[in-house]
Amino acid sequence: MPSTITEKILARAAGVASVKAGENLPVRPDHMIAYDFPGYTDVMFRQMHDDFGIRELAEPERYLVFIDHMLTKGTDKEQEVHQVTRDWCEFYGIPLHEAQGIGHQVMAELGYALPGNFLIHFDGHISGAGAFGALGWGVRRDLLEAWVSGRIHLDVPRTTRFELTGEFAPGVDSRDLVHHIIGEFGADGCAHQVMEFAGPGARSMSIDRRQGLCGMAMFTGAVSAVFEPDEAALSYARRVAAADFTPQLPDPGAEYAAVHTIDLSALRPQVVLPGSARSANTRGAAELSGTPVTKAFIGSCASGRIEDIRAAALVLDGRQVGPGVELNVVPTSDAVHRQAEAEGLLDVLRAAGAQIARSSCDFCFGYQKPLQADENCISTGVLNISGRMGSTEANIYMGSAYTVAASAVAGTITSAEEVTRA
């Protein structure tokens, strides 16, 4: 039976010859991942130990925990949260990676997001693993089922295939693509499905761009997103892999819920209005030209990788962040930070007046430097609901790193092509 990438990955993980969309069955993830957060990991560890009586894990290497949130205040409470995590991980022998960057990126750098692998997390942005041809699925508190049984029951999802052609125009990137998709097909356009990306346009995208795109899949209603693994993905995987992997390609004749063709070269910069990423909030950046901003943020698990920092440096080179604007740049991982430093990109950003922060999730969810009431922020963060980055009275606009950098220079929402033309 012809299968999609997702059906093949889930069949392999379930240990069966094939699965078909709509079927519900227990699946064995290659890795079961979490970041520590109060009310989540501490509760799950306690349940595993106290309620289920689990004292030893048969395969602790399948578990993976990151400390990437709440790193920046240095409070006693912060330390307590992380000590609980360290203690549990040591007790069970679970690999723990602390303060190396945002887990969804560090996971890839450490070779966990390998083509054909199946990964779960309670957080939906694990879908960024799709850049490598892996399937990453955010399962909320059902992570506990996997933690205690080694398997998780899933409804095998249908797939919508996106055939990408062309290449991004200067000043346009995958953030513009995902917001274009939401605008075109709706915030539930791929509901309960997986987005499958392929075609020459997909192959033209850097790994960073693919990660940013796949990481935002949930805002189309999708449970995940996956690229057909090509030579770029395979060579990255071979470089970092600590284990064998089996890339999966879709079969000719696989059944799709829909197939859409998108010409990347036709896309323009997009900006999302405060509130949510729903289609009615998606605008061309030019439409919002002139909207004042006081804060600008480049970072997050979607958009703080080297390509995003290069984009920001391209826009900011020889220019200055506008008066009254604070631009914060947070590389997605320490490795990205080091590379950006080595390439001289951070010097360019500093010279332009940007502030560079150590990699963590803390800006994105309003823990570090929270927005004040009535502030306007333009952000590459993943979410712009009220209160996400601080005050519920602040406004968060979302755009690409190009657009955020250009807006920081102008002090108003501006596309990169407007700034670089000036």
Partner 1 sequence: MSAARDYPPPPDVIRGRVAWVFGDDFDIDLVIGVENIKSYDADFLRGKVMRAYDPDFADRVRPGDVIVGGRNFGYGHPHYPPMVALRDLGIAAVLAESFSPGFWRGETYNGMPLLTVPGISTAVGTGDDVAVEWRRAVVRSGGTELHGEPPSDRARRVIEAGGSLKLLLAEHAADSGPPR
What is residue 161's three-state secondary structure? strand
DSSP symbols for 4-71: -HHHHHHHHHHTSS---TT-EEEE--SEEEEE--TTTHHHHHHIIIIIS-----S-GGGEEEEE-SS-
Contact between 264 and 201 under an 8 Å Cβ cutoff? The reply is yes
238 belongs to the binding site for partner 1 (CB under 8 A): no
Minimum distance from residue 126 beta carbon to partner 1 (Å): 12
257 belongs to the binding site for partner 1 (CB under 8 A): no
Minimum distance from residue 215 beta carbon to partner 1 (Å): 14
Residues 6+ apart with CB under 8 A from 47: 144, 148
Residues 6+ apart with CB under 8 A from 229: 115, 116, 132, 133, 237, 247, 248, 249
Q: Applying CB under 8 A, which part among 263-271, 299-307, 329-337, 385-393 lies near partner 1?
A: 385-393
- Considering the complex, state which of residue 18 and residue 386 has its C-beta at the smaller distance from partner 1: 386
Q: Is 390 left (phi over 0), alpha (psi -120 to 50) or beta?
A: left
User: Of the candidates 84, 99, 150, 274, which one interacts with partner 1 according to CB under 8 A?
Assistant: 150
Q: Applying CB under 8 A, which part among 68-76, 140-148, 262-270, 348-356 lies near partner 1?
A: 140-148
DSSP symbols for 88-152: HHHHHT--EEESSB-HHHHHHHTT-S-TT-EEEESSGGGGGGGGGT-EEEE-GGGHHHHHHHS-E
Decide: residue 142, CB within 10 A, 0-12 exposed, 13-18 middle, 19+ buried: middle
50 belongs to the binding site for partner 1 (CB under 8 A): no
318 belongs to the binding site for partner 1 (CB under 8 A): no
Minimum distance from residue 123 beta carbon to partner 1 (Å): 10
Contact between 326 and 296 under an 8 Å Cβ cutoff? The reply is yes
84 belongs to the binding site for partner 1 (CB under 8 A): no
Site for partner 1 in 17-36 (CB under 8 A): 24
144 belongs to the binding site for partner 1 (CB under 8 A): yes
Place of tokens 């955010």: 138
223 belongs to the binding site for partner 1 (CB under 8 A): yes
Residues 6+ apart with CB under 8 A from 392: 386
Contact between 176 and 270 under an 8 Å Cβ cutoff? The reply is yes
73 belongs to the binding site for partner 1 (CB under 8 A): no
User: Of the candidates 141, 238, 338, 350, which one interacts with partner 1 according to CB under 8 A?
Assistant: 141
Q: Taking CB under 8 A as the rule, which mask of x and - marks residues 188-217 in contact with partner 1?
A: x--xx-------------------------
Decide: residue 231, CB within 10 A, 0-12 exposed, 13-18 middle, 19+ buried: exposed
Minimum distance from residue 90 beta carbon to partner 1 (Å): 16
Minimum distance from residue 304 beta carbon to partner 1 (Å): 19
347 belongs to the binding site for partner 1 (CB under 8 A): no
- Considering the complex, state which of residue 153 and residue 350 has its C-beta at the smaller distance from partner 1: 153
- Considering the complex, state which of residue 78 and residue 326 has its C-beta at the smaller distance from partner 1: 78
59 belongs to the binding site for partner 1 (CB under 8 A): yes
Minimum distance from residue 39 beta carbon to partner 1 (Å): 7
User: Of the candidates 50, 55, 244, 342, which one interacts with partner 1 according to CB under 8 A?
Assistant: 55
Helix 306-316, helix 207-215: angle, nearest 10: 100
- Considering the complex, state which of residue 110 and residue 389 has its C-beta at the smaller distance from partner 1: 389
Catalog residues that contact partner 1 under the rule CB under 8 A: 24, 39, 47, 51-59, 124, 138-142, 144-145, 148-150, 153, 155, 186-188, 191-192, 218, 221-223, 276, 278, 383, 385-387, 392
